[in-house]
Structure 1
């Protein structure tokens, strides 16, 4: 996996898995379980949608960052790695979106 902000964030989330929830927001979320992590991801996704509709690029950018963070936390809560998601995306690169959807 290449070293970029997303991969570094995924590594940080993984490292915080065992941290004290009193000192780490990530550890707090993970301690609440996968369902709470999924709920928080959903809340952030809705906020991003609202900003997309409003057309505020700055707010959308900020909310998109929150969505990515909470997606990674949700994945970590279910032990799904960013590498696994990236591998899935790489598999799909060779197919059109229409063909990929039809295959599901």
Structure 2
């Protein structure tokens, strides 16, 4: 488990996801030696996919512990790694939003 994030305040999820997706996209051509995101995007496929699985499991475990701050922390890790996965496989956040929108119409 990582350290708890201090001073967390509510944000705008759309702006946050879009901004993070832009940063991740910008790291596509960065040096893997200087960028963790670039390592995930350019490295072995299994490394990224294992990380998504690991983060999902950590969310589940935090939920089992009923630890609100830990759930939030691990969910943020999972969302980040999911966005990296989407970028790696060419699925935009706009496509993801369209998929989600189509499901609740």
For this structure pair, what is the TM-score category when the shorter chain's length is used for normalisation? 0.7 to 0.9
Corresponding residue for residue 90 of structure 2: 79
Deviation at 1:22, TM superposition (A): 1.1
Corresponding residue for residue 5 of structure 2: none
Q: TM-score, normalised by structure 2?
A: 0.83
Q: Which runs of 4+ in 1 moved over 3 A?
A: none
Gaps of 5+ in 1: 95-104
Deviation at 1:78, TM superposition (A): 0.8
Corresponding residue for residue 13 of structure 1: 24
Gaps of 5+ in 2: 1-12
Measured in 2, the distance between the counterparts of 1:65 and 1:90 equals: 22
Deviation at 1:35, TM superposition (A): 2.9
Corresponding residue for residue 93 of structure 1: 104
Greater Cα shift, 35-44 or 58-67:
35-44
User: Is the contact made by 1:48 and 1:64 (CA closer than 8 Å) also made in structure 2?
Assistant: yes
More helix by share: 1
Deviation at 1:3, TM superposition (A): 5.5
SS at match of 1:4: helix
